[in-house]
């Protein structure tokens, strides 16, 4: 039986190339594509792939929070990070979100195929570069609390924070998340209270530091 794969990346040329390579594999099948995390969650519900190949930095909903939602909804679906980022904040974010694998985009395609088959068999996979970062960070954090400040926010608050940081108004956020403007304003207030931040500029800086957005968006 073919392994069903959903590819999530906000760059179409990357998605096209990746899908073309995957489709050439006799036991792998592309069942869908998404260019942002929110659509990735929707398509996961609809298509129930075996593996989601997930980018991190995307508009609307980033790969970290999309992964959190997917893993919470479907624990048996495996998520593999395929990203250009090796910064530990992104690595930590994706690992905490529940990914089964993490590779960099400069890896060989054969390595991705290997990772897909390993996670399907119940194992985890990290590229050598990522494994080195994880091990180094682990040894440094044995006597240190590395809990991210963003983890005190609820998933909905993280979604709202990302959209605020991307420059959307309360009305636009309400429309996108199917909430009332009043509810969005309440989330905004709670976010600022929890983070002890009282202005938009510092909220954006916080979102950048925590990897919720990147300067590319």
Residues of the chain with pLDDT under 70: 136-149, 215-217
Q: Are 55 and 82 contacting, i.e. CB atoms less than 8 angstroms apart?
A: yes
Q: Are 22 and 4 contacting, i.e. CB atoms less than 8 angstroms apart?
A: no
Question: What pLDDT is stored for residue 217 in this prediction?
Answer: 46
Token pair, residue 191, equals 């976010």
Question: What pLDDT is stored for residue 61 in this prediction?
Answer: 95
Question: What pLDDT is stored for residue 145 in this prediction?
Answer: 55
Question: What pLDDT is stored for residue 70 in this prediction?
Answer: 97
Question: What pLDDT is stored for residue 216 in this prediction?
Answer: 60
- For 58, 187, 200, 212, the CA distances from 161, given in Å and listed in that order, are 14, 9, 10, 8
Q: How many CA atoms lie within 13 A of 103 on its CB side?
A: 23
Q: If residue 52 lies in a helix (H) or strand (E), which one and from where to where?
A: strand 51-54
3-state DSSP assignment of residue 125: strand
Question: What pLDDT is stored for residue 146 in this prediction?
Answer: 57
Q: How many CA atoms lie within 13 A of 89 on its CB side?
A: 14
Question: What pLDDT is stored for residue 73 in this prediction?
Answer: 94
Query: How far out from the chain centre does Cα 99 lie?
Result: 9
Domains of the chain by start residue, with CATH: 3-141 (3.40.50.2300), 149-209 (1.10.10.10)
């Amino acid at each position: 039986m073919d392994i069903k794969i959903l590819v999530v990346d906000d760059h179409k040329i990357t998605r096209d190339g990746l899908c073309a390579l995957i489709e050439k594999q006799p036991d792998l099948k592309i069942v869908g594509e998404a260019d942002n995390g929110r659509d990735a969650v929707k398509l996961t519900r609809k298509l129930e792939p075996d593996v989601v190949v997930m980018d991190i930095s995307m508009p609307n909903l980033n790969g970290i929070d999309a992964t959190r939602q997917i893993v919470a909804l479907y624990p048996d679906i495996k998520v593999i990070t395929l990203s250009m980022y090796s910064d530990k904040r992104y690595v930590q974010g994706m690992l905490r979100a529940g990914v089964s694998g993490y590779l960099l985009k400069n890896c060989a395609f054969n390595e991705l195929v290997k990772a897909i088959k390993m996670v399907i068999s119940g194992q985890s996979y990290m590229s050598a570069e990522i494994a080195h970062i994880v091990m180094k960070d682990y040894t440094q954090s044995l006597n240190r609390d590395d809990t991210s400040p963003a983890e005190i926010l609820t998933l909905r608050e993280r979604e709202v924070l990302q959209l605020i940081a991307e420059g959307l108004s309360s009305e636009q956020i309400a429309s996108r998340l199917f909430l009332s403007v009043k509810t969005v304003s309440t989330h905004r207030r709670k976010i600022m209270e929890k983070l002890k931040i009282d202005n938009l500029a510092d909220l954006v800086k916080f979102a950048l530091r925590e990897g919720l957005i990147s300067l590319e968006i």
